[in-house]
Structure 1
């Protein structure tokens, strides 16, 4: 069975989406892959 953390709470999903979006937008200034890495490293939880 997959761990429940994969789904996350609504608050987690909202926080992740916000952080991912910010990281994605920042990616346009630092490079696409670096932006995705930034989003991954800064995700809540």
Structure 2
């Protein structure tokens, strides 16, 4: 049972991480589209 719970927690942790990564890539994608639209590249 402990192993099963650990696996579930592990997969849950990974899924949350993937969701955060996906959101970050979406924001970057929108930013890159704006940069392409205005023709201005702004680096942090």
Larger relative contact order (Cα-Cα within 8 Å, sequence gap ≥ 6): 1
Please identify the structure whose Cα radius of gyration is greater.
2
**Structure 2 length as normaliser, TM-score?**
0.50
Bigger helix share: 2
**Structure 1 length as normaliser, TM-score?**
0.49
User: Displaced runs of 4+ in structure 1, greater than 3 A?
Assistant: none
**What's the RMSD between the two structures over aligned residues?**
2.1
Gaps of 5+ in 2: 1-15
